Amino acid sequence: MSASQKLVLASGSPRRIALLQQAGIEPDRIMPAEVDETPLRSEHPRSLAKRLAKAKAEVASAYLAEEGDTGGNFILAADTVVAVGRRILPKAEVAEEAANCLGLLSGRSHRVFTGVCLLTPGGKMRQRMSETRLRFKRLSRDTINAYLASGEWRGKAGGYAIQGLAGTFVVKLVGSYTGVVGLPLYEVIALLTGEGYKPRDIGPDGTKS
């Protein structure tokens, strides 16, 4: 990686920042990118995650262009969608939404799709998708109420954060745990190293040195 190349994370999510740091990567800049996350009519959850990740990367790129910063940036964006079948669950903003999500997920299987988009200094766009299948145990009303009281559900897709108390709800997980948290590290490292971004702590095979 040349000294002029920088990594811009198009998200203000503390969990995404922490996941990058876990992989030995410190973003040079945090640039939250707000987009309309309303699904299109009949849009598949996978397509939504892919579209929103791309939109966030493009918004961050536009912000940088407005500042006159038009070169040397890797722009990384991601979006996570939780779905039961084709039904897309909201990012819960009020307790009622979270309670409805948890009631729906109780004792059932669901999928978490996290789309990742990378814009390179050379103007290329690369995308990856993480798909994880999970099954929750049956959640009693008391369990749901206790989780709502924790506040961990706020702003979370599907009304839960697996890295917190909701980790105890998971009976089975097949796929990427970090993808469910919000940033699938395998896919992210593959994208970055494949496009020539090689921080000091990341070896050529994508592992920490």
Q: Which of 28, 36, 79, 201 is catalytic?
A: 79
Structural contact between residues 73 and 62, judged by C-beta atoms closer than 8 angstroms: no
4-to-72, 74, 89, 133 alpha-carbon distances in Å: 6, 11, 40, 39
Q: Is 205 a catalytic residue?
A: no
Paired with 8 in beta bridges are 29, 75
Output the CA–CA distances (angstroms, integers) from residue 41 to 47, 111, 126, 158, 204, in the order listed: 12, 20, 25, 19, 42
CB 76 within 8 A of CB 53: no
Q: Which residues are catalytic?
A: 79
